[in-house]
Chains A and B, each alone.
Chain A
Amino acid sequence: MTEPLASTPMVIADRVVKSFGSHTVLKDISLTVNRGEVVCVIGPSGSGKSTFLRCINHLEKLDGGRLTVDGELIGYRQRGDKIYELKPKEAAAQRKDIGMVFQRFNLFPHLTVLENIMEAPLQVKRQSRAAASARALELLARVGLAEKAKAYPASLSGGQQQRVAIARALAMDPKLMLFDEPTSALDPELVGEVLDVMKQLAKDGMTMIVVTHEMGFAREVADSLVFMDGGVVVERGDPREVLTNPQQDRTKAFLSKVL
């Protein structure tokens, strides 16, 4: 195993296009995210932020362009100049290395917190029950919920549920974490606890792409801020720079409404 260079790209999106029927959501997205980098994506609703995130782990199929994660083409295999769709099994194998956290948490309500975290390691990685359980407890402690292992999700607050969802994604030891508006469904007083967990994760060197409306988080934690609108990347740069001194008119207009 060679230690990867800090500057090697983790995600390369090259002219990515995605349409739903006649509606083109992603027009032409090119974006590179380096290993260990934290990128926040902001933009008005309908700008394609979530769709872009969902394309990265192939929950949505690309219609154009190329998307690679850790050098691996997502959703397709290229042989010569021909492109083949991946089998469901191969697509699933790609997804297991990419963690995703959803706006609505999407915890499995019929399983306890511990079982939620153990499910994928047991089913996908075929880990032993003891190993999966030990790892799950360790992750729960990391998100500050060790005492909730036996609780069912319905008995947790939104902030706690989202922290469990983060632990669940981490249990697969992903090389990349995608956050789709992780705090948008939370009561305001619960946002902080989730952002704290994400900050710690960023500090530990996780590569993260975060679609968010939390400008404070973006300013403090992100290495780079992307502003998307109308299916294209309008502006990208240092978060403090973009937030205080946006170069594009569309960025200025958006920020003037949200800040």
Chain B
Amino acid sequence: METTGSSGQPERIVAIPLRHPVRNVVAVVIILIVVLFVVDAAFFRPAYDWPAVGKYIFDVRVSQAALVTIELTVLAMVGAIVLGTLLAVMRLSPNPVLKSVAWAYLWIFRGTPVYVQLVFWGLLATIYKTISVGVPFSSDVLFSWTTQDAISVFWLAVIGLALNEAAYMAEIVRAGMLSVDPGQSEASTALGMSWSQTMRRIIIPQSMRVIIPPTGNEVISMLKTTSLVTAVPLSTELYTRTRDISAETFNPIPLLIVASIWYLFFTSLLMVGQYFLERRFARGSRFVDVGPGQENPTVLVGATPTAPVEAQPGTSTEGRSS
């Protein structure tokens, strides 16, 4: 902010900053506790067995399992986002049948535990022994597979996770679309753009700002939910694999740490990715730098730096003893 007065500068506030003695004491105490815990864990707790952590962290069985976990996460999320977007559009459509179908889907898949659903998917081959393609209401069968051969346990796990997650993604996408001002679709309709052009070019890009943060949450949540696919049962992912190894070594704690480190590593990667995605879709938002041509800095709420109250030279600082 600049202040221009013809008769000299207005008097500046020269204030002695507020002290926070309690804050400092609390900070020191907390840091001490953390340091003590780390030192204790590093040197005085043999159960952590850090050498074993180092030995297994890059064990090929573990890193292969980590890859399976990432594959499950990515495939399930891609399926969930596609299906969730479809469900969201269905829920917002004027067609009452589509609306009810989408609602019923949400009711079932959000209303039952994902673990239970995964067990169900594991039993798919028991319920539906064969998958056949034929002419309806006749005995002609064109193709037929036994379910067990047609769908592997891995894909059952992907389907189970994706279908559950789609119910949550549908609500996130719907919220995103509802957050866009109706004037936007009106303007693009008035320009002669079709419904799909309006959705693709105007509504969805704007709804992304609202959709991405909770979707980032969901991806991280999915990464961890993959540890439940043992219910299908799929045993090649990270958590089950480390449990299996520790069942042989009778040393579960270091392997839990190994699994945690891998999960944390992936989560960190995802958080970095989310940061860049958010920046990409924040273009034009008043909360980011809008680039050249800005002449109305008051709209840049989020970017307005708080002006520090400068201490003038010669200001009394004697009271700053602690």
Min C-beta distance of B131 to chain A, whole Å: 38
Our pick among A108, A123, A169 for the contact of B197 (Cβ within 8 Å) is A123
Which residues of chain B from 117 to 156 have any CB-CB distance to chain A below 8 Å in the complex? none
Which residues of chain A from 82 to 117 have any CB-CB distance to chain B below 8 Å in the complex? 88-89, 92-93, 95-100, 102, 104, 106-112
Our pick among B201, B284, B286, B294 for the contact of A119 (Cβ within 8 Å) is B201
The residue in chain B whose Cβ has the minimal distance to the Cβ of A152 is: B284
Which residues of chain B from 279 to 311 have any CB-CB distance to chain A below 8 Å in the complex? 281, 283-286, 290-296, 299
Residues in B neighbouring A124, C-beta threshold 8 A = 191-193, 197
Asked whether A134 is an interface residue with its Cβ less than 8 Å from the other chain, the reply is no
User: Provided the pairs A102-B186, A109-B284, A109-B285 are in contact, do residues A95 and B295 lie with their beta carbons within 8 angstroms?
Assistant: no
Bound-state CA distance A3–B223 (Å) is: 67
Min C-beta distance of B187 to chain A, whole Å: 4
The residue in chain B whose Cβ has the minimal distance to the Cβ of A150 is: B292
Our pick among A96, A156, A165 for the contact of B296 (Cβ within 8 Å) is A156
Bound-state CA distance A121–B193 (Å) is: 10
Q: How many of B's residues come within 8 Å of A, CB to CB? A: 31
Task: Write the B77-98 contact mask toward A (1 if CB under 8 angstroms, else 0).
Answer: 0000000000000000000000
Min C-beta distance of A187 to chain B, whole Å: 12
Residues in A neighbouring B194, C-beta threshold 8 A = 88-89, 92
Bound-state CA distance A100–B190 (Å) is: 6
Task: Write the A136-168 contact mask toward B (1 if CB under 8 angstroms, else 0).
Answer: 000000000001101111111100000001001
Contact across chains for A152 and B291 when beta carbons are under 8 A apart? yes
The residue in chain B whose Cβ has the minimal distance to the Cβ of A168 is: B191
Asked whether B181 is an interface residue with its Cβ less than 8 Å from the other chain, the reply is yes
Residues in A neighbouring B296, C-beta threshold 8 A = 155-157
Residues in A neighbouring B206, C-beta threshold 8 A = 108-110
Our pick among B286, B291, B299 for the contact of A150 (Cβ within 8 Å) is B291
The residue in chain A whose Cβ has the minimal distance to the Cβ of B299 is: A154
Contact across chains for A95 and B190 when beta carbons are under 8 A apart? yes
Bound-state CA distance A100–B284 (Å) is: 23
Contact across chains for A123 and B292 when beta carbons are under 8 A apart? no
User: Provided the pairs A88-B194, A89-B194, A108-B187 are in contact, do residues A155 and B283 lie with their beta carbons within 8 angstroms?
Assistant: no
Q: How many of A's residues come within 8 Å of B, CB to CB? A: 39
Asked whether A202 is an interface residue with its Cβ less than 8 Å from the other chain, the reply is no
Contact across chains for A119 and B191 when beta carbons are under 8 A apart? yes
Residues in B neighbouring A168, C-beta threshold 8 A = 191
Contact across chains for B285 and A104 when beta carbons are under 8 A apart? no
Our pick among B183, B290, B291, B299 for the contact of A102 (Cβ within 8 Å) is B183
Residues in A neighbouring B284, C-beta threshold 8 A = 109-112, 152-154
Total contacts A-B at CB 8 Å: 100
Contact across chains for B291 and A95 when beta carbons are under 8 A apart? no
Our pick among B184, B190, B285, B295 for the contact of A59 (Cβ within 8 Å) is B190
Min C-beta distance of B293 to chain A, whole Å: 3
Contact across chains for A93 and B283 when beta carbons are under 8 A apart? no
User: Provided the pairs A102-B183, A106-B183, A110-B284 are in contact, do residues A152 and B191 lie with their beta carbons within 8 angstroms?
Assistant: no
Min C-beta distance of A66 to chain B, whole Å: 21
Min C-beta distance of A35 to chain B, whole Å: 21
Contact across chains for B283 and A110 when beta carbons are under 8 A apart? yes
User: Provided the pairs A59-B186, A109-B284, A110-B205 are in contact, do residues A88 and B195 lie with their beta carbons within 8 angstroms?
Assistant: yes
Bound-state CA distance A123–B198 (Å) is: 10
Residues in B neighbouring A183, C-beta threshold 8 A = none
Asked whether B189 is an interface residue with its Cβ less than 8 Å from the other chain, the reply is yes
Asked whether A133 is an interface residue with its Cβ less than 8 Å from the other chain, the reply is no
Bound-state CA distance A39–B214 (Å) is: 49
Asked whether A120 is an interface residue with its Cβ less than 8 Å from the other chain, the reply is yes
Contact across chains for A120 and B192 when beta carbons are under 8 A apart? yes
The residue in chain B whose Cβ has the minimal distance to the Cβ of A122 is: B201
Min C-beta distance of B294 to chain A, whole Å: 4
Residues in A neighbouring B189, C-beta threshold 8 A = 59, 92, 95
Bound-state CA distance A102–B192 (Å) is: 15
6 A-B pairs whose Cβ atoms sit less than 8 Å apart in the complex? A57-B190, A92-B192, A102-B183, A106-B186, A154-B290, A169-B191
Q: Which residues of B are interface residues toward A (Cβ below 8 A)?
A: 181, 183-184, 186-195, 197, 201-202, 205-206, 281, 283-286, 290-296, 299
Known contacts A108-B188, A152-B284; 15 additional CB pairs below 8 A are A92-B192, A95-B189, A106-B181, A106-B183, A110-B205, A110-B284, A111-B284, A119-B188, A123-B201, A124-B191, A154-B285, A155-B291, A157-B296, A169-B190, A172-B191
